[in-house]
Amino acid sequence: MEKFIWAFIVGGGICVIGQIMLDVFKLTPAHTTVSLVVAGAILGGLGLYEPLIEFAGAGASVPISSFGNSLVKGAFAELERSGFVGILTGIFEVTSAGISSAIIFGFLAALIFKPKG
Query: In whole angstroms, what is the distance from residue 113 CA to residue 103 CA?
Result: 15
State the pLDDT at residue 26: 96
Collect all residues with Cβ–Cβ distance below 8 Å to 6 and sequence separation of at least 6.
Answer: 55, 56, 57, 59
State the pLDDT at residue 49: 95
> Which stretches in the chain have pLDDT values below 70?
115, 117
Q: What is the pTM of this model?
A: 0.79
Please tell me what DSSP assigns to residue 83.
-
State the pLDDT at residue 66: 92
State the pLDDT at residue 117: 65
State the pLDDT at residue 85: 80
